[in-house]
Chains A and B, each alone.
Chain A
Amino acid sequence: VATTRHRPHRLTSSNLSAPSPTNDIHKEPSVKTPIRFPRTALKLALVSAIALAGSAQAATTTAQATASVVAPMTITKATDLLFGSFSGSAAGSVTVSTSGTRTSSGVVVFGAGTTAASFNVTGTGTATYGISFTGTSTTLTSGADSMAFATVSDTTAAGAISGNATSGTLVAGAGSIYVGGVLTVATAQPAGSYSGTINATVDYN
């Protein structure tokens, strides 16, 4: 004997259809909203239920990503390197230390006002940085006359008279570079005002 089971018709179109609006259409406009709402709710429920059943196994999580960009380094000149005045017919040398102290051999120095060059450096925190003097003059010139020049440098104005700093460490984002030099004076070096250029370059390393 075959039996037929009758399922309750909960989802027939007759259930889905809204009551005829003709009952209420002349009463007030807001009646339209509750009449249309069931369909929308139904669609939402359908979509969410399908989504739930179809992707219940997927797991998604969100993670944070960060990066810190620091300001580029800057360098500015604070003071120039000044060897001051000297004279003599013999060969010799004049040295200005990184603290600005002048010494000499073979020539007579006079006058005051010698200084080491200084540069102010800025960057981030306590970063280390490299120092280069690429492009610095190897001679000081006065017209066609020249004297050999070499830098001495440090980052503390400790009075160095030889060697060059190749790196430094910032303190609270700031630092300094001090540059003295050694000038080689030839026999009968012509009188004149000699000059050259120091190029100091820094970058994080």
Chain B
Amino acid sequence: MGRSLGGARFPPATIALVLALLPAAREACAQTVIVLTNTRQMDFGTFAAGSGGTILLNAATGARSKTGAVILLPSPAAAQASFDVSKSKNGTVNKTVSISLPVNNTVQLSSGVNKMFVNNFVASPATIPTVPNGGTPLAVGATLFVGSGQPPGAYTGTFSVTVNYN
């Protein structure tokens, strides 16, 4: 607790290490880094579950479609998710951009104890050759899996998207 024997020795060692590695980190920070901003959430809208099915949000158009017995109800706010891919400063970066989306069976929407999986994430565009000054939009669609007799409720969840220079 109050003893300083170990504590007195710990800072110098740590500082030494950080100082030793700082040049690499500083160099990375000075580069143009890619920036990803979420501009619109993903909304599957309102529907009745019936005996279940799927709801697809088209990544490119945001159009909602369904399979199975799900009944889609009017949902003006239903849309695919949108992001803005930009960079920390203007200038040419001759690197393509990788887009990482959630893998299947890792994202769920929940309402209390009730859950639905969101799978088959799709990015539009599928590839980003270069990030222009001022940024470029990235849309993400997915498919919601609705169970038979899925209990009514407002379901929410989160998912992560990662972009990086190749």
Which among A55, A58, A60, A67 has the highest number of chain B CB atoms within 10 Å?
A67
Which among A41, A46, A61, A203 has the highest number of chain B CB atoms within 10 Å?
A61
Per-position 1/0 for A51-95, Cβ under 8 A of B? 011011111111111111111110000000000000000000000
Distance (whole angstroms) from the CB of B137 to the closest CB of chain A: 13
With A62-B160, A63-B38, A65-B142 given, is the CB distance from A15 to B10 under 8 Å?
no
Whether B162 contacts A60 by the Cβ 8 Å rule is yes
Number of interface residues of B (CB under 8 A): 71
Whether B17 contacts A49 by the Cβ 8 Å rule is yes
Whether A72 contacts B48 by the Cβ 8 Å rule is yes
Judge if B113 is at the interface, Cβ distance under 8 Å.
no
Per-position 1/0 for A39-53, Cβ under 8 A of B? 001100110011011
CA distance A33 to B6 in the complex (A): 8
Distance (whole angstroms) from the CB of B1 to the closest CB of chain A: 7
Judge if B33 is at the interface, Cβ distance under 8 Å.
yes
With A65-B156, A67-B43 given, is the CB distance from A58 to B10 under 8 Å?
no
Judge if A133 is at the interface, Cβ distance under 8 Å.
no
With A69-B111, A69-B151, A72-B50 given, is the CB distance from A63 to B10 under 8 Å?
no
CA distance A36 to B36 in the complex (A): 40
- A24: which B residues are within 8 A, CB to CB? 5
- A22: which B residues are within 8 A, CB to CB? none
Whether B10 contacts A45 by the Cβ 8 Å rule is no
CA distance A203 to B73 in the complex (A): 11
Name 20 interchain pairs, CB-CB below 8 A, sorted by A.
A10-B20, A19-B5, A33-B6, A34-B3, A34-B7, A37-B6, A38-B9, A42-B14, A53-B21, A56-B29, A61-B36, A63-B81, A65-B42, A65-B118, A66-B154, A69-B49, A69-B151, A72-B50, A73-B48, A124-B48
Which B residues contact A (CB, under 8 angstroms)?
1, 3, 5-7, 9-10, 13-14, 16-22, 24-25, 28-29, 31, 33-38, 41-50, 55, 71, 73-75, 81, 83, 85, 107, 109, 111, 116, 118, 140, 142, 144, 146, 149-165
